[in-house]
Amino acid sequence: METAAAEVENRMAEPFIVFDDIRMRFGPADEGMPPVLDGIDLAFPKNSFVSIVGRSGCGKTTLLNIAAGLVKATSGEVRIDGKAVKGPGEGQGVVFQQHALFPWLTAAGNVEFGTRTRGLPKEEKRQVARDLLDLVGLGHAVDKYPRELSGGMQQRVAIARALAMDPEILLMDEPFGALDELTRIELQQELLRVWEAQKKTVVFITHSINEALILSDRVILLAPHPGRVHKDIDITLPRPRERTDPAFNEMYQEIWEGLSS
């Protein structure tokens, strides 16, 4: 795992994903519709792991959907490596809270579907799927259907499918929110292992302060009504991180106070 010094150096690198004055309103201002997001300015370096935390209704998911090209901002733009995001699939892999696997495809078939835009030969698609399922600890489940997998295993397949696109950025919207606590902790460790192996740039939405601290280089706190950046906190704790570490608990308290205010 990276040292704190290496993480600091990474944060000082050239911005790779940029949110430039993002504003979002889901209806006309003259009809009294309040903005959902108001002036979001953020920049993340390549290979960083950033979590966005905030109360319900602060616009976390909307911000992620704008980055994914699934929703167009009212104004402002998201740029990846200097290029404006104009639509979905432009170097972004997305994992939602609900895995949305195709029930008629096996685990391998679902992951192969993620390779569809890469123009790979059939055999290479199969090998990519096998390799990625191995990476997420499901090498034994390539021929199983979603109904034969636990919730945690289904989310592993969803992560593998997103990685099959070979995206530059992995956008994750509370991917472990519906799982029991033990499975959630296991998948947090699995995600960190995959991140270390693949070195994607990750933007991760969560309600859990613990989860954000375990995973992230930075934690962005969004304030609600309208959504705006309230705090941007560097997490310099060396990995792997222990929840019982006094320094961990101090940072937990800092984030908690930021959310409470």
What is the model's pLDDT at position 29? Answer: 61
Q: Output DSSP code: residue 118.
A: T
pLDDT surpassing 90 at residue 153: yes
Q: Are 232 and 216 in contact (CB under 8 A)?
A: no
CA distances from 235 to 69, 86, 175 (A): 28, 31, 21
pLDDT surpassing 60 at residue 1: no
Strand segments (E) across the chain: 15-24, 37-45, 49-54, 75-80, 83-84, 92-95, 169-173, 201-206, 218-223, 228-234
13 pLDDT tier (thresholds 50, 70, 90): low
What the block records as the tokens of 149 is 């997998």
97 pLDDT tier (thresholds 50, 70, 90): confident
Average pLDDT over residues 184-192: 92
pLDDT surpassing 90 at residue 33: no
What is the model's pLDDT at position 149? Answer: 95
261 pLDDT tier (thresholds 50, 70, 90): confident
178 pLDDT tier (thresholds 50, 70, 90): confident
CA distances from 241 to 38, 108, 189, 246 (A): 34, 32, 10, 11
**Range of lowest pLDDT (28-37, 54-63, 154-163):** 28-37
pLDDT surpassing 90 at residue 37: yes
Closest CA to 6 of 178, 133, 153, 196: 196
pLDDT surpassing 90 at residue 128: yes
Q: Are 195 and 7 in contact (CB under 8 A)?
A: no
Homologous superfamily (CATH) for 4-91+167-244+252-260: P-loop containing nucleotide triphosphate hydrolases (3.40.50.300)
99 pLDDT tier (thresholds 50, 70, 90): confident
Burial class (CB in 10 A: 0-12, 13-18, 19+), 194: buried
191 pLDDT tier (thresholds 50, 70, 90): very high
What the block records as the tokens of 109 is 């078939």
pLDDT surpassing 60 at residue 98: yes
SS (H, E, C) 81-116: CCEECCCCCCCEEEECCCCCCCCCCCHHHHHHHCCC
Q: Any alpha helices (H) in 171-245, and if so which ranges?
A: 181-198, 209-215
What is the model's pLDDT at position 14? Answer: 85
What is the model's pLDDT at position 100? Answer: 85
Domain ranges within the chain, ordered by starting residue: 4-91+167-244+252-260
- Residue 126: its H or E element: helix 122-135
In this predicted model, what pLDDT tens digit does every residue of 195-234 receive, in sequence order? 988 889 999 999 999 999 999 999 999 999 899 999 999 9
pLDDT surpassing 70 at residue 8: no
Q: Which residue has the tokens 């290479």?
A: 124
